Amino acid sequence: MKKGGEKTLQDEDIPKLSEAERAESCYLLFSYQLNKQMQSKPSSQASILKTIILCHRREIFVSGFFALLKIVTVSSCPLLLNAFILVAEGKGNFKYEGYLLAIALFFAKSLESLSQRQWYFRTKLIGLKVRSLLTAAIYKKQLRLSNAARLMHSSGEITNYVTVDAYRIGEFPFWFHQTWTTSLQLCIALVILFQAVRLAMIAALVAIILTVLCNTPLAKLQHRFQSKLMGAQDERLKASSEALINMKALKLYAWENHFKKVIENLRAEEYKWLSAVQLRKAYNSFLFWSSPVLVSAATFAACYYLKIPLHASNVFTFVATLRLVQDPVKSIPDVIGIVIQAKVAFERVVKFLEAPELQNANARQRCHMENNDLSISIKSGEFSWEENSSKPNLRNITLEIRMGEKVAICGEVGSGKSTLLATILGEVPNVQGSIQVFGKIAYVSQTAWIQTGTIQDNILFGSAMDRQRYEETLERCSLVKDLQSFPYGDLAEIGERGVNLSGGQKQRIQLARALYQDADIYLLDDPFSAVDAHTATSLFNEYVMEALSGKAVLLVTHQVDFLPAFDSVLLMSDGEILQAAPYHHLLESSREFQDLVNAHKETAGYGRVVEARSSVSNGTSTREIKKSYVEKLFKPSKGGQLIKQEEREKGDTGFKPYIQYLNQNKGFLLFSISVLTHILFMGGQILQNSWMAANVDSPNVSTLKLIEVYLVIGVFSTLFLLFRSLSIVTLGISSSKSLFSQLLNSLFRAPMSFYDSTPLGRILSRVSSDLSIVDIDIPFSLIFTIAATVNTCSNLAVLAVVTWQVLFVAIPIIYAAIRLQKYYFSTAKELMRINGTTKSLVANHLAESIAGAITIRAFDEEERFFAKCLDLIDTNASPFFHSFSANEWLVQRLETLSYVVLASAALCMVLLPSGTFSSG
């Protein structure tokens, strides 16, 4: 807090999380408990919900204790108020009772605040840990997801599980204790009500039960609409993700308007369910905010018919008790909404986490045997992408490849060449037969997968730097000249998916990555298709024939001029190996092979392989190139890199963001209506209580008239509540429509340079989690802000009217509160901004890993990528943790200051002469 007050906070200023709060610890505990459950009940599927509860049961009980303490202390306030009224009426038990009551009130409220802050802090911490472990579990799962399951869960949907669903589930623990504390508080309130109004309490109970029952059908509708909304979000995010990934093609073909229209149509469907969800929340809110009026009507009517006398002590004990339960009852719509959102999100995440994985039985068996020159062995294998398919993708596969053997795989398009490589990698489920792989594998995919980062990072791919091997790798892959063209050599940043590289450069970086790993087996899926003829010949000789001598190589290729150099050629057709023999033998004996070779005869530029050599050795000396390159290699990178750091506002932006939000579609008008209707509602509440206070002991006003006027004012004030709720929902939906339209237009009009320098995850974070906040959270946050501000001002006004002397304490306290909030905001704003910018790092890493999952698995790099994911989760969790910690820090101090004012008001009432004001 101090550092934030002195300067603008940066990422490095935020302390690291403690060991227990880190994603790794949370995930390991989750995995341990899940495995423990599976071992105890092997036949049944382990419950993920039960596992999460077991992981945090201690924290749940401790936070529950503070929740209970808060309920007990808050329930004492109506009793203290009743005692105050009796003292004001001159019915005190002893001389200094008023002073003791003022002190007791201060300590009771302080203990209430302390317990509530601990309750909220601890439950938010549980939510953070749950969010972290679910994000980690989702990431780990997508690395092991089977092909069939991947068809069911698109890249956009998986991103949604992390950016939206995990966040919704993480919010639930904060509200969990509300589910039982509300019931407990109602029970305690009923006991106090019984003491105040005796049997009329039954009428209050019936009114509360009816209110809850009226909400039951709304809750069911809310669950249905929430499920539909999440499904619509998935569809829209899936289309958005596909459009963003292929934006270059859309712009080249001028398809932007068509795809923008597709996304707008999906968004229109989403709006339909969003409107339904928000309107149900508005009705819920109205129902529970108006419940005190219904309860009052029922109770006072019962008092009238049962001839229970009404006087200041029992009426205001009743009103105070009603206010006591008003907050938890008002929160019921929020609790129901959060529970429904969390339930829907949890069902989606659990469905994903329980999806089929690449089974160990299907995956390659990596065997390590001494004195064994066998690299790959497949016996009578049948393999199918779909496990229950009647026709396997590969049939009758029998294959043995030994160390140092070079095998080419050729055939027509769709004959199963790439599937055979995927089978060796363990990606295709084994239907029949056996497959064994001996040694370490390196894999080069047909479509280049390049990570965001430096060229050096892509080539090393997690391995330690060996300078000599690294430089030899660059030479073998014809990358030396390319690196000279980059301002920072191999430290130059590559844009997402290698957008600033040519197709040939991307493929050669892939080849370099594989070569640097020094593996035993190399699986190369048509690696020369993206390079020109001259470079392809150079690469084949330098890379395949020389650098990989002594290695087992399987090369899928359409370049028939390379085939004579291989030890064996596999001819594939329709998922079967038709023949496997040396090139010349196949050429003589196979008609299909002759047709294939003749079909490629017109391909130009490939000379005799055995005579062709890389031109790198001609002209400029290789050593000179290497020397020039090495000089650039160590040039420090100080800027001008492609990927831009995510921008964030700094300092106090004032009301600018709020004005921008309210400027959308008559936002100011709707906001003004919301504020005005809430002020009228609060005016009605004050008028209600003033009427009761002024006339409850008056002999000139009958009990019936007292109750009638009280209820009429209450009914009219609740109507303003309905207008307030509907206007704020209308404001939220209209602003969301306008902002999304602007966002979509900006994305489709943005130049390609924007997409080259902005990671996909960063953009997806804007159109998923951030947009979800704009859609759902901001409108009701506005309601809370309006209500809290108006309530505070009205309470201070009432206090000043009743005991103006308290202003001598209240004014300096208000000044101190303003200074305290100013001190808090300088830190809190930066924490929230950093939290917003770090959120996209996780989404970006996830999107990148989904695209390169096969390559990551092929190189056995799952653990390294998972470790990076854990680190990014912590990077995002740390500012979030310190943000809500700072919030609790502020609220604790502000509440203590407000209790000083309250205690001072109570003390003033005690000190003033008897009869200065009425007991009401």
pTM equals: 0.78
E strand or H helix that includes residue 381:
strand 374-383
Mean pLDDT of the 633-639 span: 45
Residue 796: per-residue pLDDT:
80
**Both tokens of residue 681?**
């509602």
What rounded mean pLDDT belongs to the chain?
A: 83
Amino acid identity of 161? Y
Amino acid identity of 779? P
- Contacts of residue 658, defined as CB under 8 A and 6 or more positions apart, other chains included, come to none
In a domain, 83, yes or no: no
In a domain, 622, yes or no: no
- Contacts of residue 913, defined as CB under 8 A and 6 or more positions apart, other chains included, come to none
Q: How far is CA 590 from the centre of its chain?
A: 57
Residue 307 or 525, more confident: 525
3-state secondary structure at position 698: coil
Q: Where are the alpha helices (DSSP H) in 554-600?
A: 583-589, 591-599
pLDDT at position 771 over 50: yes
Cβ distance 428 to 419 under 8 Å? yes
| Cα angle for residues 847, 851, 855 (degrees, 5° grid) | 130
pLDDT at position 748 over 60: yes
**Percentage of residues of the chain with pLDDT beyond 70:** 89
Residue 599: per-residue pLDDT:
77
> How many CA atoms within 13 Å lie on the side-chain side of 36?
11
Structural domain range at position 571: 374-603
**What pLDDT digit, counting tens, does each position of 227-272 carry?**
888 888 888 988 988 898 888 889 999 999 999 999 999 999 999 9
DSSP labels, 846-865: HHHHHHTHHHHHHTT-HHHH
In a domain, 230, yes or no: no
Cβ distance 400 to 424 under 8 Å? no
In a domain, 555, yes or no: yes
Residue keyed to tokens 């669950």:
223
**What pLDDT digit, counting tens, does each position of 660-705 carry?**
888 888 888 988 998 899 899 888 888 887 887 777 777 888 888 8
pLDDT at position 566 over 50: yes
Nearest to 871 by CA among 14, 22, 26, 128: 22
| Cα angle for residues 646, 651, 652 (degrees, 5° grid) | 125
Residue 472 or 10, more confident: 472
Number of domains observed in the structure of the chain: 1
pLDDT at position 639 over 50: no
In a domain, 537, yes or no: yes
Cβ distance 403 to 550 under 8 Å? yes
**What pLDDT digit, counting tens, does each position of 217-233 carry?**
877 788 788 888 888 88
> How many CA atoms within 13 Å lie on the side-chain side of 428?
25
pLDDT at position 76 over 90: no
pLDDT at position 45 over 80: no
Give the single-character DSSP code of 903. Answer: H
Q: At what angle do helices 312-353 and 667-695 cross, to 10 degrees?
A: 150
In a domain, 212, yes or no: no
In a domain, 421, yes or no: yes
User: Looking at the chain, how many residues does it have?
Assistant: 920
Confidence band, pLDDT 50/70/90 cuts, at residue 42: low
Rounded Cα distance between 337 and 917, Å, is 44
Residue 703: per-residue pLDDT:
81
Amino acid identity of 761? G
Q: Where are the alpha helices (DSSP H) in 7-45?
A: 23-40
Rounded Cα distance between 630 and 645, Å, is 27
pLDDT at position 611 over 60: no
**What pLDDT digit, counting tens, does each position of 344-360 carry?**
889 999 999 988 888 75
pLDDT at position 561 over 80: yes
Rounded Cα distance between 495 and 454, Å, is 9
Confidence band, pLDDT 50/70/90 cuts, at residue 626: very low
pLDDT at position 490 over 80: yes
pLDDT at position 372 over 80: no
| Cα angle for residues 135, 743, 231 (degrees, 5° grid) | 45
Rounded Cα distance between 845 and 866, Å, is 10
Residue 453: per-residue pLDDT:
84
Residue 189: per-residue pLDDT:
82
Confidence band, pLDDT 50/70/90 cuts, at residue 646: low
3-state secondary structure at position 745: helix
Residue 400 sits in a domain whose CATH number is: 3.40.50.300
In a domain, 798, yes or no: no
